[in-house]
Amino acid sequence: MTAETIIGAVGKTAEFRTCQYTGLKVDIAAQQLIKANAVAAVVFLALGGLMGLLVALTRWPAVHLLPADWFYLVLTGHGANVLLFWIIFFEIAVLYFASAVLLNARLVAPKFAWLGFALMVVGAVLANVAVLQGDSSVMFTSYPPMQAKSHFYLALILFAVGALIGCAVFFATLVVAKEEGTYQGSIPLVTFGALTAAIIAVFTIASGAIILIPTWLWSLGLISNIDTLLYRVVWWAMGHSSQQINVSAHVAIWYLVAALLVGAKPLNEKVSRTAFLMYILFLQLASAHHLLADPGLDASWKIVNTSYMMYLAVLGSMVHGLTVPGSIEAAQRRNGFNKGVFEWLRKAPWGHPAFAGMFFSLVMFGFIGGISGVVLGTEQLNVLMHNTLYVPGHFHGTVVAGTTLAFMAATYLVLPLIFQREIVWPGLAKFQPYLFGIGVAGISLFMMGAGTLGVARRHWDISFSDTDLSFAYSAGAYLMMGLNGLFAILAFLGGGRFVVIVVGTALFGQKITGGHKLAFPLHAGGGTAVAHYGSRGTWKLPGTAVLVALFFVSFALYYFINWKYLSELWLFR
């Protein structure tokens, strides 16, 4: 049975161009779809980022910008636009790139892919309309019995169906590429990472359908009641798993950027692929992270699920945490930067925004997002932080410092490779990851700090000026909120700069026709970097060993400090 009979009548004709840098065949239909999805992603990033700034300025007690109703409205919009629309549009672009472009293949059923894109656009616009109308300020999580207008849920369902179509096109493209023999052997590691993301996406969207369709019917009055605990269990099977799509996608991008810029090759295909496999097998259990402080759930259920079955998915991330910098170190040493422990890192292409963005993403995802995530997801420790600002602090470390920064880094490669335009204002672009990275590190850390001091998330007024029984948070908490506001401004300037560069380049960037100065990898000879995996020819990696040792010590210290905090709490059982 051929792929054609499985998928149905699919036209075999496709128009290709040859990439002058990589020699890859690029399907023009795939290229158009990648452009469209990337542009839509950036539009929603701009909107959601602006909303994020308004949120941070309102939570800065000295500024307190928006009135309460607008604050809750804008916070709902912020979550939907950046956490869903920006990231998932971009991920669909990544899926098409990792399948059609990297495999030299044609994208299967581009019209179907356009249908998916249209549904996603309609869903995203409709959701924004619903939120801005003001009757759907239910936050990203939309916990019943609080109810939004029915078109808010419908918008999310339409968006999810569109994304599911994108995944289907990706899977079909993989099957057809294999069938038509467009590549030899196994799929590249980056494509394998994208496949991981797509598999998790299917699980995520299925969970979303299970909970959002009944919720939509409930908002129409067709279902009388939704159980709040059941909703949280199933909703988070979507809500948390969708973040695991991001992890898989941005780890794939780490490998992609490392390969293109320094010629890095996976140290060991087996290890890196097994680490991705751990994501597929265990990351979906993370719904439990959100239920550790809920009634009625057994400790054994919590422990097994919250730890992704004995931390096997965390193991996956820790492995990538070594193999990504390790492959860069090996390539750089082969490129000639072989002095001492850290010359390879010092002389890495820090002036290229794709490299700087990728490396900051790697470091901050591990040190800020990763460590805080494990602590927050520890059964008992969660009670210290559940629903405090620590939670957004953590996930700004994963989704903004990790995923968003990695996607921005990838964009600096997509612009010349897929849009075929020179980046306008390269000077602005050079420092963009630094500005955004510092801003995001600040927001993550200061929100985590405020959460440690008890400040509630999604809260308009931490001074409790309108309440009968007032309560005062410590002065430290106010300081943290002020610093959070300051760093949010930095992050906004960095994010705004990114949007301006992308829009400017897409519209006015000089067309790249041929003989361009960009060369991949940036260093001559990078392509042959690293001998064979695990053979005696492999370079020793002292720098990476130091980095992971530093990570491990930070992780263990911070983990035990939190147990110390917990042991000082009132006793409860």
Partner 1 sequence: MAISPPERRIWWNEPIEKVELIWVIIAFLWGLFMFGFMIAWHFIGQQNLNKEAYRIDPSSYEAKVEAFAKKYQVREEKSIPVVKPPPGVDVYLLGRLWQWWPILELEKGVSYRIHLSSIDWLHGFSLQPTNINIEVHPGYEHVITLTPTQSGEFGIVCNEFCGIGHHTMTGRIYVTEQKRAEAGPGLAGGR
Q: Which of positions 53-72 make contact with partner 1 (CB under 8 A)? A: 68-69, 72
Contacts (Cβ under 8 Å, ≥6 apart) of 111? none
Q: Tokens 């500024």 — which residue?
A: 63
Smallest gap from residue 493 Cβ to partner 1 (A): 29
458 binds partner 1 (CB under 8 A): yes
**Residues in Cβ contact with 315 at an 8 Å cutoff, skipping those fewer than 6 apart:** 275, 278
**Quick check: bond before 521 cis, omega within 30?**
yes
461 binds partner 1 (CB under 8 A): yes
Q: What is the CA radius of gyration of the chain?
A: 23
Q: Which residues of 151-183 are buried (b: 16+ CB within 10 A; e: fewer)?
A: bbbbbbbbbbbbbbbbbbbbbbbbbbbeebeee
Asked if 534 interacts with partner 1 (CB under 8 A), we say: yes
The footprint of partner 1 on residues 297-316 (CB under 8 A) is 297-299, 303, 306-307, 310-312, 314-315
What part of residues 211-230 is at the interface with partner 1 (CB under 8 A)?
A: 227-229
Contact residues for 62 (Cβ-Cβ < 8 A; gap 6+): 482, 485
**Which residues have CB under 8 Å from 275's CB, separation 6+?**
315, 316, 317, 319, 320, 323
292 binds partner 1 (CB under 8 A): yes
Q: Please report whether residue 518 would count as binding partner 1 according to CB under 8 A.
A: no
- Which residue number, 139 or 486, has a Cβ lying nearer to partner 1? 139
- Other beta carbons less than 10 A from residue 304's beta carbon: 14
Which C-beta is closer to partner 1: that of 119 or that of 541?
541
Nearer Cβ to partner 1, position 22 or 493? 22
Count residues contacting partner 1 (CB under 8 A)? 111
Instruction: Give CA separation, 430 vs 166, 334, 388, 558, in Å.
Output: 32, 25, 35, 33
Please pick, from the candidates 16, 114, 143, 171, the single residue that binds partner 1 as defined by CB under 8 A. 143
Asked if 180 interacts with partner 1 (CB under 8 A), we say no
The minimum distance between CB 445 and partner 1, in angstroms, equals: 18
266 binds partner 1 (CB under 8 A): yes
Please answer whether residues 388 and 454 qualify as being in contact, where contact means their C-beta atoms are separated by less than 8 angstroms.
yes
Residue 233 touches partner 1, criterion: CB under 8 A: no
Residue in 457, 491, 492, 502 binding partner 1, rule: CB under 8 A = 457
Residue 387 is a binding residue for partner 1 (CB under 8 A): yes
18 part of the interface to partner 1, by CB under 8 A? no
Which of 41, 211, 385, 488 is in the footprint of partner 1 by CB under 8 A? Answer: 385
CB of 200 to partner 1, least distance (A): 19
In terms of CB distance, is 112 or 533 closer to partner 1?
A: 533
Local structure of residue 465 (DSSP, 8 states):
T
Our finding on whether 22 is near partner 1 (CB under 8 A) is yes
Give min distance, CB of 61 to partner 1, in A: 12
- Quick check: 179 binds partner 1 (CB under 8 A)? no
Least CB distance to partner 1 at residue 1 (A):
24
Would you say 157 or 194 has its CB closer to partner 1? 194
Residues 6+ apart with CB under 8 A from 67: none
Q: Does 378 help bind partner 1 (rule: CB under 8 A)?
A: yes
- In the bound state with partner 1, the residue whose beta carbon lies nearer, of 1 and 469, is 469
The verdict on 446 binding partner 1 (CB under 8 A) reads no
380 touches partner 1 by CB under 8 A: yes
List the one residue out of 314, 308, 359 whose CA is nearest residue 332: 359
Task: Determine the Cα–Cα distance for residues 317 and 377; give it in Å rounded to an integer.
Answer: 15
Task: Please say which residue, 82 or 453, places its beta carbon nearer to partner 1.
Answer: 453
Q: Least CB distance from residue 276 to partner 1, whole Å?
A: 12
Q: Which 308-367 positions form the footprint of partner 1 (CB under 8 A)?
A: 310-312, 314-315, 318-319, 322-323, 326-327
For residue 501, give Cα distances in angstroms to 50, 78, 449, 510, 557.
16, 22, 33, 13, 40
Q: Would you say 312 or 493 has its CB closer to partner 1?
A: 312
Rounded Cα distance between 19 and 97, Å, is 13
Report the alpha-carbon distance of residue 556 to residue 561 in Å, rounded.
9
Q: Is 258 in the site for partner 1 (CB under 8 A)?
A: yes
Q: Is 263 in the site for partner 1 (CB under 8 A)?
A: yes
Please tell me whether residue 554 binds partner 1 under the rule CB under 8 A.
no
Nearest C-alpha neighbor of 154 from the set 118, 121, 117, 123? 123
- Evaluate whether 123 touches 162 at the Cβ level (below 8 Å): yes
What tokens appear for 66 in the block? 């928006």
Burial 78-104 (b: 16+ CB within 10 A, else e): bbbbbbbbbbbbbbbbbbbbbbbbbbb
Instruction: Please identify, using beta-carbon distances, which residue of 5 and 468 lies nearer to partner 1.
Output: 468
508 part of the interface to partner 1, by CB under 8 A: no
Q: How far apart are CA 188 and CA 255, in angstroms?
A: 10
Nearest-approach distance from CB 142 to partner 1, in angstroms: 10
